[in-house]
Amino acid sequence: MEEDADLKLLERRKLEAMKRRLKAAGSPAAPERTDRQIVEGMLYDRGDEVLEAAYSFYPKETEGVVRELATMIRQGRLKDKVAGGELFSLFRQLGLRFRLSTSIKVMDRGKLVDISEKLGRKESD
């Protein structure tokens, strides 16, 4: 009987020591997200393509824009998601002009095909 009480006391002490060590170590902090990751999380509708194109044409300037957008997101001044067209318009307003690859696709026989293929097919038919 006395041994059971001693065992329980020993187990309780070890458990408390483990809890103290766990608190001292703290939970592993989540890695800090970069400005670019924060901004990419707020983009939709080809926003990632616009951002990638901007980085390829104007890397330093785009980094500054991304830094400002990330700051606005962190401060809560920018809460809504940003569409690709809005981001593209922002870059154009800042004087950073670049081209995006675009294509028009249409439904043909249950498949999406490029409009140039569709028009070429009609001419040959």
Cβ proximity of 105 and 112 under 8 Å: yes
pLDDT digits (tens, 9 = 90+) for 71-109: 988 888 888 898 988 989 999 999 888 888 887 888 888
Cβ proximity of 93 and 103 under 8 Å: no
pLDDT digits (tens, 9 = 90+) for 25-50: 766 656 788 888 888 888 888 889 99
Cβ proximity of 47 and 83 under 8 Å: yes
Residue 125 has pLDDT above 70, yes or no: no
pTM > 0.85: no
pLDDT digits (tens, 9 = 90+) for 104-116: 888 888 888 888 8
